[in-house]
Amino acid sequence: MSNTLHALLAPHPADAPALGAPERPWLTHGGLRALTEQTLAALHGAGIGRGDRVAIVLPNGPEMASAFVTIAQGAVTAPLNPSYRVDEFDFYLQDLKAKAIVLPEGYDGPALEAAGRHGLVILRLGFDPAQPAGSFTLVAEGQATGTPDTAMAGPDDIALILHTSGTTSRPKIVPLLQRNIAASAHHIGTSLALTPADRCLNVMPLFHIHGLVAAVSSSLAAGASIWCAPGFDALRFFGWLDTARPTWYTAVPTMHQAILTRAERNSDILGRLQLRLIRSSSASLPPQVMVQLSKTFACPVIESYGMTEAAHQMTTNPLPPRAQKPGSVGVAGGPEVRIAHEVEDTLLPMDATGEVVISGPNVTPGYEANEDANRKNFFEADGKRWFRTGDQGTFDPEGYLNLTGRLKEIINRGGEKISPLEVDAVLMDHPSVVQVVTFALPHPKLGEDVAAAVVLREGATGTEREIRDFAATRLADFKVPRKVVILEEIPKGATGKLQRIGLAEKLGLVTEA
């Protein structure tokens, strides 16, 4: 098995399509290999080489995909969200110890100001829209000191650095090695049975592990192609499907829900599609949405379970003829997956409920410069090193994992433990509800109580009382939300995920409680 990005890209036919985009010719696998040589030559010319850290701040699209793939073969990539403010860029660039930053030609926004504070080499990325999607040139402003190491990155070199999204504490640095990325790309390709005939429509942000590994790296490893949209847009999505003719796409649940709201008015395009599968990851997919997606697109919906620390995929629902179980994140999808005691460093039987832990070639060697976090999150058992995911779950008799929620999101109501996912699933059955997030509401006596934010279907009506009464017919009294907030839109994170932690504060419910 290939264990570097360079090895992943090497064996595919030169004329096979690799990267596409709206109104652009295709970049071939051979073209991508040539682009790698040109890109690494430009980096070396600017004094940047193997082991040096290069921040990438680019809009979503084929150049972001190709910049990651080419730079990572000879340096360390650190993609950052282009919508950060100056102080955020300042923090991340310093924390990463970046030596250079890739910015679009003509860009003079906050990332440039922050890069100036740290004396980074600026690498300007330019491209011609008439040229194949993803092709670009890099021009350096400034020069790094010292002689760069011009060797290709090896299996134990860092390919990608990402930060975990810290809810209250400082974000942790996750270094992913070449072999971690390569292993995860192979795991995803195997579980989805990807071949060179496959094409992925990418709508995921490419500063996020889901887009970088599940869409881009797994496709390129299989000799397949990726058609890169400029981000997610429910209004343009069906037009992109029609143009790109993909065999699959991958997205987060909120995107799938937005797509379903537009499906009826795009029935002509639906009739022309030949999707082999739809993939969902990065947050729990409500069972109702999984069923509706499968029915609407007439293909299996593969819900997977991923994390940055695992270079994305940990478990996945299998392809037919095996079952795709709504509400389950499937079977082990590469690494070994077990249940562990939430406090003690011991593994439990598979049918126990406890913390989900993983061990395998896709797992990060550990957080950078954070011994405390490594002590808390990694342990040795059965001769293996295990990573604690922070999620609670249990396996069914067929080896499918069911998550009960993030351990820190489990609501503790006076000693009664409530899974937000369980309440979500019940409220999603209400005929007027299209989206829901159950969260903890501070309570003076109980510590926490149950609350839910819901979005109603277009044209539907429903009151807080009706929704609570509906929940009371299906849930024990202590699990029924004490408060239901009806919103036009639930606040989301940068990658489109709904966020439970801190929602009570965001909605101004804490002082009231």
Q: pLDDT class for 493, splitting at 50, 70, 90?
A: confident
pLDDT digits (tens, 9 = 90+) for 369-419: 999 999 999 999 999 999 999 999 999 999 999 998 888 888 989 888 898
Residue at 300 is within a domain:
no
pLDDT digits (tens, 9 = 90+) for 185-210: 999 999 999 999 999 999 999 999 99
Domain count, the chain: 2
Write the CATH number for 427. 3.30.300.30
Domain closes at, from 178, 212, 235 = 178
Cα–Cα distance between 118 and 94 in angstroms, integer?
7
Residue 166 has pLDDT above 80, yes or no: no
Please give the structure tokens belonging to residue 316.
Answer: 């996945």
Mean pLDDT value across residues 328-332: 98
Cα–Cα distance between 513 and 511 in angstroms, integer?
5
Q: For residue 45, what pLDDT is reported? A: 97
Write the CATH number for 158. 3.40.50.980
Mean pLDDT of the chain: 95
- Residue 37's CB is within 10 A of a number of other CB atoms, namely 12
Q: For residue 510, what pLDDT is reported? A: 81
Task: Tell whether pTM > 0.75.
Answer: yes
Residue at 498 is within a domain:
yes
Domain closes at, from 138, 157, 178 = 178
User: Which residues constitute the domain of residue 159?
Assistant: 24-178
Residue at 152 is within a domain:
yes
Q: Concatenated DSSP letters for 460-496?
A: ----HHHHHHHHHTTS-GGGS-SEEEE-SS--B-TTS
Strand order in the sheet with 121-126: 137-141, 121-126, 100-104, 53-56, 76-79, 158-163, 173-177
Residue at 488 is within a domain:
yes
Residue at 440 is within a domain:
yes
Domain closes at, from 145, 178, 211 = 178
Residue 167 has pLDDT above 80, yes or no: no
